[in-house]
A and B are shown apart, each in its own frame.
Chain A
Amino acid sequence: MLTILFDGIAYGMLLFLLASGLAVTLGLMNFVNLAHGAFAMAGGYLTAVLSNRLGVPFLVCLPLAFLFSAALAAVLEPTLYRRLYRRPHLDQVLFTIGLVFMAVAAVDYVYGSTQQFVRVPDFLRQRFDIAGVGIGGYRLFIIVVCGVLTLALQAVLTRTRFGSRLRAAVDDPRVASGLGIDVNKIFLITFAFGSGLAGLGGALGAEILGLDPTFPLKFMIYFLIVVAVGGTTTITGPLLASLLLGVADVAGKYYVPKLGGFIIYSVMIAVLMLRPQGLFARAGGR
């Protein structure tokens, strides 16, 4: 029972790491980016290729996965994404679905449709037994990494000059640029950083979530749920939503294996109906 809770929390933290970038693009910049999972997949595949074929140590792969996805995003943002910020949502949906399809087919073409395995180093494979609760070392590692990153993210967004500039740019791009803030640059950095986090999440999660070419499609709805249910005014909202979703999903798959997805989707619809702004949104928030 507690093991399930623990696994659920690890899963939830992972989802948060994966979706936090989306919380900014979708939540704050109001851009429907369904291709977010593709950046996560890029990080995951980089790790799989580096560690399995070239023998790069796993812990070295993780920052590389971050950089790779961030670089990819930094190339795509000014060339493609930026043109679509002001377009209708339908255009954004079509465009990003197109990107997902291309990513899925391209990865399938290069690496085949089989699942990729990322080898986790031995010292992370141990299992602990604390007060009768079985704890996987790797999951503990995930929780620690994601926890630290979450705190850092929160600090950056609320305490630093960059954070306040970002919030200003999102609230009113015109006034922000009038005040001398380079809005394009801020968005570029944020988008790249968010995608980088997704890449890191993809690398970390390859072991738990599974990694195959359909990854972006399979987890698209999960990312959307995190953002939509969590609301976008704070980062605690998506965090709590991810944890809830993680625990619910793991528990659901354990107790009612065939109805797990059903329950989650129903709850999502119910939440969206009752609280369209998200479960943890402040009143008056945008």
Chain B
Amino acid sequence: MTPGFAGTTRNRDAIEFARSTRVRTSEIVFLLAAVLSWFLLPRQAPMLNEMAILALFAVSLDLILGYAGIVSLGHAAFFGTGAYVAALFAKHWLPDPLVGLAVAALGSALLGLATSVLVLRGSDLTRLMVTLGVALILYELANRFDNITGGADGLQGVVMGPLLGRFAFDMGGRVAFGYSLTVLVLLFVVARRIVNSKFGYGLRAIRDNPRRATAIGIGSHGRLAAVYTVSAAYAGIAGALLAQTTGFASLDVYDFHRSADVLLVLVIGGVGWLYGGVIGAIVFTLMHDVLSGLTQQYWQFWIGLLLVVLVLVGRERIGNVAQRLVRGRDPNAQGDLPP
């Protein structure tokens, strides 16, 4: 913590800080449940794989939306880039999944770094339109260069090599799920460390009041650019996992509905709280499974209804319930975006 506080405040802050970073029992239970699902639900592996990828994507959005207050309507830009980079890399250079994952992360991180200058300044509306614009531009580019990307038909013939040279991706999708889950857990731990570091607290200060943060010496530009880049890399990895485990990438990865869906996922689970993305992904995927079984074509209607109801009821209320279930109690509710 910053030196110079009065003794008691400092101690209390230190205790709060320690408490917020300590691993809770509920978190361990959560992790165990995830691992057990791999053993106990082999037939559900494809769906669980989807869940893990969506969770990672939502965590990536949470880093910029929940912790830095950047409202993005175009997060699919990074997801799609990761997916295409991974698919193209596997098809033309090297089919090894892990190298492909690293390359995809690097590719989308570079894109994130390049476009981060666009979201540093401006109001919510400007950011909204710029992020949306970037995703649309990439969609148009992928459509234009369909000789490379395969256009609307998708990129066919991506064959992945075995994982670590040993585990080949099987039809049942268990290897795929294990792979995605491992990546999710590792990256989640990293994200947890990031948001509980000084850097993470700096971000929250910027989110809550950028001017005051700057005044007390927390420069916003560098931090925002950094977290935007990290978030882009995360989204890229999520996209790469999708492309690698399905062996396919199409224009759909850049589509607007992806950006909107991930926003919904995060809102279901709670913004500004990393588990929000994971819980949201679980609820969303299960809901998708049930609802699209009932009404294949019109499930979008229910998504819309859910969004409307969530906002009218108040997302913070629902988020708080979920947080209380996992945290037990909530010492300093890192609730929501400031108005």
Among A26, A94, A100, A262, max chain B CB count under 10 A is at A94
Are the C-beta atoms of B132 and A106 separated by less than 8 Å?
no
User: Which chain A residue has the least Cβ–Cβ distance from B311?
Assistant: A95
| A99 engages B304 (CB within 8 Å) | yes
Is B336 a contact partner of A88 (Cβ separation < 8 A)?
Answer: yes
In the bound complex, residues from chain A placing their C-beta under 8 Å from that of B306 are: 98
Between A101, A228, A272, the greatest number of chain B beta carbons within 10 A of the residue's beta carbon is seen for A101
- In the complex, whether B312 has a CB less than 8 A from a CB of chain A is yes
Tell me if B141 is interfacial: C-beta within 8 Å of chain A: yes
Asked if B144 is at the interface of the complex by the 8 Å CB criterion, the answer is yes
A109 vs B296: C-alpha distance when bound (angstroms): 11
User: Which of A88, A265, A269, A276 touches B140 (beta carbons < 8 Å)?
Assistant: A265
The CA-CA distance from A7 to B299 in the complex, in Å, is: 38
**In the complex, chain A residues whose CB is within 8 Å of the CB of B322:** none
Query: Is B93 on the interface with A (CB-CB < 8 A)?
Result: no
- Checking A88, A100, A108, A273 against B297 with a beta-carbon cut-off of 8 angstroms, the contacting residue is A108
Which of under 10, 10 to 19, 20 to 34, or 35 or more describes the interface residues of B? 35 or more
Our pick among A89, A94, A103 for the contact of B267 (Cβ within 8 Å) is A94
Complexed CA–CA distance, A177 and B304 (Å): 34
Whether a CB of chain B sits under 8 angstroms from the CB of A161 is: no
Q: Is the CB of A262 within 8 A of B137?
A: yes
Q: Are B308 and A95 in contact (CB under 8 A)?
A: yes
Instruction: Give the residue of A80, A94, A103, A109 whose beta carbon is less than 8 angstroms from that of B298.
Output: A109
In the bound complex, what is the Cα–Cα distance between A100 and B73 (angstroms)? 14
Residues of A within 8 A of B143 (CB): 258
Flag A24-42 by CB within 8 Å of B: 1 or 0 each: 0010000010000000000
Is B201's CB within 8 Å of the partner chain A? no
| In the complex with contacts A99-B308, A217-B256, A276-B121, A268-B129 CB distance below 8 A | yes
Task: List the A side residues contacting B137 at CB < 8 Å.
Answer: 261-262, 265-266, 269
Asked if B260 is an interface residue, CB under 8 A from chain A, the answer is yes
Asked whether B192 is an interface residue with its Cβ less than 8 Å from the other chain, the reply is no
For B336, the chain A residues whose CB sits under 8 A away are 88
* Residue contact B130 to A272, C-beta cutoff 8 Å: yes
Evaluate contact between A258 and B304: CB separation under 8 angstroms: no
Give the docked Cα–Cα distance between A266 and B336 (Å).
Answer: 32
Kindly identify which residue among B304, B315, B338 contacts A97, using a CB–CB cutoff of 8 Å.
B304
Question: What is the minimal beta-carbon distance from A107 to any residue of chain B, in angstroms?
Answer: 10
Q: In the complex, what distance in Å separates the CA atom of A272 from the CA atom of B128?
A: 11
Contact digits for B115-142, partner A, Cβ 8 Å, 1 yes 0 no: 0001001111110111011101100110
Given the interface pairs A108-B298, A262-B140, the reply to whether A225 lies near B129 with Cβ below 8 Å is: yes
B36-76, CB < 8 A from A: 65, 71, 73
Cβ of B65: which chain A residues have Cβ within 8 Å of it? 90
B307 touches A (CB below 8 Å): yes
A261 B136 Cβ-Cβ under 8 A: yes
Which of B71, B125, B311 has a CB less than 8 Å from the CB of A98?
Answer: B311
Contact status of A104 and B300, CB under 8 A, knowing A32-B124, A88-B338, A262-B144:
yes
Chain A residues with a Cβ closer than 8 Å to the other chain, count: 42
A31 to chain B, nearest CB (A): 10
What 0/1 pattern do residues 238 to 281 of B give for CB contact below 8 A with A? Answer: 00000000000000000010001001100100010000000000
Q: Tell me if B301 counts as interface (CB < 8 A to partner A).
A: yes
**B125 CB to nearest A CB, Å:** 6
- A176 contacts B by Cβ under 8 Å: no
B71: chain A residues within 8 A (beta carbon): 89-90, 93
Over the window 225-258 of chain A, the binary record of Cβ atoms lying under 8 Å from chain B Cβ atoms (1 yes, 0 no) is 1001000000000000000000000000000001
Known: A97-B260, A105-B300. A86 touches B126 (CB 8 A): no
Across the interface, name the chain A residue whose C-beta is closest to B134.
A269
Contact check, B301 vs A109: say whether CB atoms are below 8 A apart: yes
In the complex, what residues of B have CB within 8 A of residue A98's CB?
303-308, 310-311
CA–CA, A65 and B6, complex, Å = 67
Question: Is A56 an interface position by the 8 A CB rule?
Answer: no
Residue A221 lies at the interface, judged by CB distance under 8 Å to chain B: yes
Which residues from chain A contact B315 at a C-beta distance below 8 Å? 91, 94
Residues A97 and B133 in contact, CB atoms below 8 Å apart: no
Does any Cβ of B come within 8 Å of A259's Cβ?
yes
Identify the interface centre among A84, A88, A97, A259: most chain B CB within 10 Å of its CB.
A97
A-B interface, 5 closest residue pairs, ranked by CB to CB distance from nearest = A98-B307, A101-B304, A105-B301, A102-B304, A98-B308
Interface residues of B (CB under 8 A from A): 65, 71, 73, 118, 121-126, 128-130, 132-134, 136-137, 140-141, 143-144, 256, 260, 263-264, 267, 271, 297-301, 303-308, 310-312, 315, 336-339
Contact sample, A vs B, 20 pairs, CB 8 Å cutoff: A32-B124, A83-B312, A88-B336, A90-B124, A91-B311, A94-B315, A98-B305, A98-B307, A98-B310, A102-B300, A105-B301, A109-B298, A221-B132, A228-B129, A258-B143, A262-B137, A265-B133, A268-B129, A269-B137, A273-B130
Extra contacts, 10 of them, besides A98-B311, A102-B300 (Cβ < 8 A), are A90-B65, A97-B307, A101-B303, A108-B298, A221-B133, A228-B129, A258-B143, A265-B140, A272-B126, A272-B130
